[in-house]
Chains A and B, each alone.
Chain A
């Protein structure tokens, strides 16, 4: 089966800021793919290019088998986008918002009303159908927004884009949205989501790409990434502040308050021994150590470093 999303050498600059620098991605049909990265890594720009809202400066991208520039309309018919900014009208009810979206996607009035009710049911919003969305919780609004992107015949929307779908949601709403994503994926829809939450990518995505400085820093399953980039983490407790400062350049995680530093390792006795000898040849700087299985946070920090936080140009 052809991939749902495929990009090659995608570049985009805003003024002198290079937001995407030769981005290559491949997302298999029917999978959940997470694009993970700090603010300013180029996540939103990637989504905007893949959803035909912004044209790339260079490179190619195909979504659902169509080129995002040359076959924009075909791409639009196959995708749904739920962006960071709400696209529902707060003074309209849930049902009114969905009926409008269905009408805009080309359904006649009656069919649009039917479709709206189906979607309300599917996203657990039937009870709030006639309430204005201003009175919805953050999670309900996000679900409605997602539903509004899916007004077309369920068979035709093949790739769903979610740009930071759970930013600003409470844990319970986040959980509900994750369920929705799993349900979509269970029906064979490809889901492409961006997030800055490692846990979200870990729990939800089949594959993860870590984005930094406009390119893919790493790509794989959560397990692969953990093994490849930070199989284990050795936490070292320095004897004093001077020792801490001497060790700092070698570490990927820093906790000055407890004089603790994290260093990636594969976890083998041989490697741990070599590492300790290399870091502390005189055997005076390190007081204690503990060994941890790495989390996605370790991968993320190892890959993006402490200062991957330039600002991405905002989209209006």
Chain B
């Protein structure tokens, strides 16, 4: 590993540690972001679930992957706000005089975001198990499903971090991530796509969240997932690449 890469890694590790420590000190926000997905899952399962026909699969089992993906969207808002706060305060100036670049800076935020999300995911899975979530996945299936989810969380977090660079205020940063929270709704996350109006099918079937949900659901139920998993992975890799490239350019633009 080159010297610069080793330095970058050490810097990103230190900044990730900072992000996690800051989250632990700001428990109110973390608890809100943990409770929200759990509450939403309960709302879907007990209020709406009865009216949704998901065939042989129990609704709770059907909806869990969607709730996990929704979680990533909630986490993204927090990431955008933290990045934006660092930009507004003197933190970024200090980091730049310490020769810290955009990638280690944002990687630190993203790693902390993934850690927060992993906690939320665990909590959602725990509560889901209590209310009747009974997956049939093999160990490999679990690993693959969790891996896909982590890939999505990483991509969405980095996109959120880029949004945090653009936004002029932390409040605006939160708003920019709104679409990330909204994306799971017009997908097969909560209701089968064929129950949606025809004109929406084209979007719903080809947006990134649908193959992600379909493959996670398939893996958790031990059903064949076909190419959906690869499509989902390609989406995540593409979004991540876009986010990294965009954030590099935005960082240079905003720190001129």
Query: With A55-B256, A104-B15 known to touch, is A149 a contact of B94 (CB < 8 Å)?
Result: yes
Q: Is B90 part of the contact surface with A, judged by Cβ < 8 Å?
A: yes
Chain A nearest CB from B67 CB (Å) reads 29
Chain B residue numbers with a CB within 8 Å of A80 are 97
B208-225 CB contacts (< 8 Å) to partner A? none
Chain A residue numbers with a CB within 8 Å of B96 are 52-53, 76
Inter-chain CA distance A132–B21, complex, in Å, is 12
Per-residue 0/1 for B82-97: is the Cβ within 8 Å of any A Cβ (1 yes, 0 no)? 0000011111011111
Q: By the criterion CB–CB under 8 Å, are A87 and B91 in contact?
A: yes
Q: By the criterion CB–CB under 8 Å, are B93 and A85 in contact?
A: yes
Q: By the criterion CB–CB under 8 Å, are A104 and B11 in contact?
A: yes
Chain A nearest CB from B246 CB (Å) reads 18
B12-68 CB contacts (< 8 Å) to partner A? 14-15, 17-18, 21-22, 25-26
Query: With A55-B256, A316-B87 known to touch, is A81 a contact of B21 (CB < 8 Å)?
Result: no
Inter-chain CA distance A52–B98, complex, in Å, is 11
Q: Is A205 part of the contact surface with B, judged by Cβ < 8 Å?
A: no
Inter-chain CA distance A67–B21, complex, in Å, is 37
Chain B nearest CB from A3 CB (Å) reads 20
Task: Choose from A53, A77, A79, A87 the contact partner of B255 (Cβ within 8 Å).
Answer: A53
Chain A residue numbers with a CB within 8 Å of B168 are 316
Inter-chain CA distance A216–B14, complex, in Å, is 41
Chain A residue numbers with a CB within 8 Å of B94 are 81, 83, 87, 101, 148-149
Chain B residue numbers with a CB within 8 Å of A54 are 256
Query: With A85-B90, A106-B7, A316-B168 known to touch, is A53 a contact of B22 (CB < 8 Å)?
Result: no
Per-residue 0/1 for A203-235: is the Cβ within 8 Å of any B Cβ (1 yes, 0 no)? 000000000000000000000000000000000
Per-residue 0/1 for A55-92: is the Cβ within 8 Å of any B Cβ (1 yes, 0 no)? 10000000000000000010011011101111101011
Query: With A54-B256, A100-B14, A316-B168 known to touch, is A91 a contact of B22 (CB < 8 Å)?
Result: yes
Q: By the criterion CB–CB under 8 Å, are B10 and A103 in contact?
A: yes
Chain B: interface size category: 20 to 34
Query: With A89-B22, A91-B25 known to touch, is A104 a contact of B95 (CB < 8 Å)?
Result: yes
Inter-chain CA distance A74–B23, complex, in Å, is 34
Q: By the criterion CB–CB under 8 Å, are A92 and B25 in contact?
A: yes
Q: Is A96 part of the contact surface with B, judged by Cβ < 8 Å?
A: yes
Do most interface residues of chain B lie in helix, strand or loop, or is the interface mixed? helix
Q: Is B183 part of the contact surface with A, judged by Cβ < 8 Å?
A: no
A142-163 CB contacts (< 8 Å) to partner B? 145, 148-149
Query: With A86-B90, A92-B21 known to touch, is A106 a contact of B10 (CB < 8 Å)?
Result: yes
Inter-chain CA distance A87–B86, complex, in Å, is 8
Per-residue 0/1 for B145-172: is the Cβ within 8 Å of any A Cβ (1 yes, 0 no)? 0000000000000000000000010000
Q: By the criterion CB–CB under 8 Å, are B97 and A51 in contact?
A: yes
B68-90 CB contacts (< 8 Å) to partner A? 87-90
Inter-chain CA distance A101–B91, complex, in Å, is 10
Inter-chain CA distance A85–B97, complex, in Å, is 14
Task: Choose from A77, A87, A100, A106 the contact partner of B90 (Cβ within 8 Å).
Answer: A87
Chain A nearest CB from B195 CB (Å) reads 46
Chain B residue numbers with a CB within 8 Å of A248 are none
Q: Is A105 part of the contact surface with B, judged by Cβ < 8 Å?
A: yes
Q: By the criterion CB–CB under 8 Å, are A103 and B22 in contact?
A: no
Name the CB-closest residue of B to A152: B98
Chain A nearest CB from B158 CB (Å) reads 20
Name the CB-closest residue of A to B89: A85
Q: By the criterion CB–CB under 8 Å, are A316 and B93 in contact?
A: no
Name the CB-closest residue of B to A105: B98
Inter-chain CA distance A101–B10, complex, in Å, is 12
Chain B nearest CB from A97 CB (Å) reads 9
Chain A nearest CB from B18 CB (Å) reads 5
Inter-chain CA distance A96–B19, complex, in Å, is 12
Q: By the criterion CB–CB under 8 Å, are A76 and B18 in contact?
A: no
Name the CB-closest residue of A to B6: A106
Query: With A104-B14, A104-B95 known to touch, is A316 a contact of B254 (CB < 8 Å)?
Result: yes
Task: Choose from B26, B87, B90 the contact partner of A83 (Cβ within 8 Å).
Answer: B90
Inter-chain CA distance A211–B217, complex, in Å, is 66
Inter-chain CA distance A48–B90, complex, in Å, is 12
Query: With A101-B98, A104-B15 known to touch, is A87 a contact of B25 (CB < 8 Å)?
Result: no
A20-76 CB contacts (< 8 Å) to partner B? 48, 51-55, 73, 76
Of the A-B pairs whose beta carbons lie under 8 Å apart in the complex, a sample of 12, sorted by A's number, is A84-B90, A85-B88, A85-B93, A86-B89, A87-B91, A89-B22, A100-B17, A101-B94, A104-B15, A104-B95, A105-B98, A316-B88
Known: A100-B14, A104-B100. 5 other contacts (CB 8 A): A53-B93, A83-B94, A86-B89, A92-B25, A104-B15
Interchain residue pairs A-B with the least CB separation, the first 10: A87-B90, A91-B25, A85-B90, A87-B94, A103-B14, A83-B90, A81-B97, A76-B99, A104-B98, A87-B91
